[in-house]
Chain A
Amino acid sequence: MKVLVTVKRVIDYNVKVRVKSDGSDVDLNNVKMAMNPFCEIAVEEAVRLKEAGVASEIVVVSLGPQAAQEQIRTALALGADRGILIQSDANLESLTVAKLLAKVVAEEQPGLVIMGKQAIDSDNNQTGQMLAALTQMPQGTFASEVKVDGDKVQVTREVDGGLQTVELAMPAIVTTDLRLNEPRYASLPNIMKAKRKPLDTKTPEELGVEIKAHTQLLKVAPPAARQAGIKVASVEELVDKLKNEAKVI
């Protein structure tokens, strides 16, 4: 079975985001970029399925600028077999991304698509569900456990208040939650080997998907700043302040 994994190039999660002074967007010039943390978990899960003999090939896809190649190479170094970059410098909204991925799915015919549950830049949490709708595949979102059994996959999902298990007919889409696994690090020899693995580049035009704007970003502002607080000298004073000043206990 072939597994398709998607990875997104995003700002590194340790970097403090700055809003541009004209309020048009956040400033991404000269900031460290990395693979979205949830995508790392998706790659790890695919590699584990391959190590368990369930997956035969792992294809990794990314969409975005030329530089997104770096994140595909990272996935290749972690164990993916080949990469596809859908290159575009345009602002790709999640519905457009899902439409482009649907074309890749139609071409590659994977048994399972594994994606992160959300990207830490747009915080949308949409693309997996949208791809599932467009390909009419079932979806196992927020997965904390994935068990492939013949032509079915059992997915344990993190829902509010606990865990829910669903069984999906394959091909299916799984989106990863934090608890699914702990991603490995790429070793130096594997990083070197990854440079020789195949990486195809395509464009939205080649795939026949029109990039249509569904939303208009009017402004981006920093969140309201918190008032500076005070330091208390003792536990007694803290309890007193919480009871009588803040009135929260």
Chain B
Amino acid sequence: MVHQVHLMKVFAPDVARAAKPGQFVIIRIDEQSERIPLTIADYSVEESSVTIIFQEMGKTTKQLATLNAQDTLQDFVGPLGTPSEIEKLGTVVMVGGGVGVAPAYPQAKAYKAAGNKVMTIIGARSENLLILEEEMRAVSDELLVCTDDGTKGHHGFVTDVLQRLLQNGEHVDRVVAIGPPIMMRAVAGVTKPFGIQTIVSLNPIMIDGTGMCGGCRVSVDGKTKFACVDGPEFDAHKVDFNLLMSRLAVYRDEEGISIKKHECTCGGGQ
């Protein structure tokens, strides 16, 4: 799609038939692979396909990026998680950051289909990292674009745009934010004083994705929840983002070892 961001359409009839916005899949590339969660970006019952969009972040996503059309994945499990609660509310603002735009897309589409006014804010570090701009425009009443470096749209963060929108008196019934935890935390900070219901899709470490291990546990309103079954969507104003970010960093050393080994055997990541 763009630099280090890839789209993959996977033939998975059973998953495509059951998938709903807000849900995710767990994939495993081969016998030695780990299981990683990826949010469903799109699905088509007619094509029996599920679309995933991922960014090269570590060993597994880099390896995934080397696959070609017609290659197969060892495992593709889903749909997992509780679907988004899509209803007619009035005005919904969708905020997508980086590859978080991908899972925001089916939701924007569903909110629109449910009769809402959908305003979408998408952001990336730079213009060449923006994804799904046209797709998002097609399902939104209004699309606002921003980049950290000012190469396209507003020069700054999605939160600046959201803040301005709310300050200008736009009546908003719900904000849905999907992106890096630091962005979702910032969005929660913006909407809180306005008392606007805000939903985030959390991305903790997962193993099975079916509720049997608690590796993905998060704290919501002071209570422990398993993101893979109770979520991944939660009320942003009740999420302990510091805990989430700290738990996401647990395996940083091991991730370094793994990627180094991968690059050695794979010719320096070429």
> Do A and B interact with each other, yes or no?
no
Interface residues of A (CB under 8 A from B): none
Interface residues of B (CB under 8 A from A): none
